[in-house]
């Protein structure tokens, strides 16, 4: 098995480790920079705990982009990609397994439907079901050198 390694960049942390028990946006918003162009990056989530004791829990870690620094206009927020975790009974596909702690990742582009680059990115965690404790994870952005 090949293990990928990445240089850690503290400015690319999208979420510090911590428990989430209700749906909410993560407070950290990353600025990809002025005059930002098309970017491809990986969001790596390190899940250290996931509670699925009731059998109906689902957690979506959604990567969002916006041209607004404060994500203040809901109509400008674009969902760029997501990691869906939870109990086997809540799976959105034919997967029939309970998710456990570990590393997950999703590759996304900072583009809206028209192909316009979005300068700002953040995470939004959707929590649903009978939640006793929730999900504990940290996440960071890893830029990828991909030419589109």
Q: Give the pLDDT confidence of 52-90 residue by residue, as tens digits.
A: 999 999 999 999 999 999 999 999 999 999 999 999 999
Phi, psi of 12 (to 5 degrees): -105, 10
Tokens of 67: 């041209």
Assess if residue 121 is contained within a domain: yes
Q: Running DSSP on this structure, what letter comes out for residue 141?
A: E
Domain of residue 135, CATH code:
2.60.120.1110
pLDDT category of residue 36 using cuts at 50, 70 and 90: confident
Assess if residue 148 is contained within a domain: no
Assess if residue 71 is contained within a domain: yes
Q: How confident is the model at residue 80, as a pLDDT?
A: 98
What burial class does residue 107 get, using C-beta atoms within 10 Å of its C-beta: 0-12 exposed, 13-18 middle, 19+ buried? middle
Assess if residue 1 is contained within a domain: no
Closest residue by Cα to residue 44 from 140, 145, 143: 140
- Domains of the chain: total: 1
Assess if residue 135 is contained within a domain: yes
Assess if residue 124 is contained within a domain: yes
Assess if residue 15 is contained within a domain: no
Enclosing domain of residue 116:
24-143
| Separation CA 139–CA 131 (nearest Å) | 21
């Amino acid at each position: 098995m090949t293990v990928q390694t990445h240089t850690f960049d503290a400015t690319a942390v999208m979420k510090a480790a911590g428990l989430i028990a209700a749906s909410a946006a993560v407070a950290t918003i990353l600025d990809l920079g002025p005059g930002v162009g098309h970017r491809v990056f990986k969001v790596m989530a390190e899940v250290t705990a996931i509670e699925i004791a009731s059998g109906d829990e689902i957690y979506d870690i959604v990567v969002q982009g916006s041209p607004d620094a404060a994500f203040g206009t809901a109509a400008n927020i674009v969902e760029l990609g997501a990691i869906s975790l939870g109990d086997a009974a809540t799976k959105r596909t034919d997967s029939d397994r309970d998710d456990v702690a570990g590393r997950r990742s999703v590759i996304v582009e900072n583009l809206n439907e028209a192909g316009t680059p979005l300068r700002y990115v953040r995470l939004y965690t959707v929590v649903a079901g009978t939640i006793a404790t929730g999900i504990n994870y940290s996440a960071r952005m890893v830029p990828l050198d991909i030419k589109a």
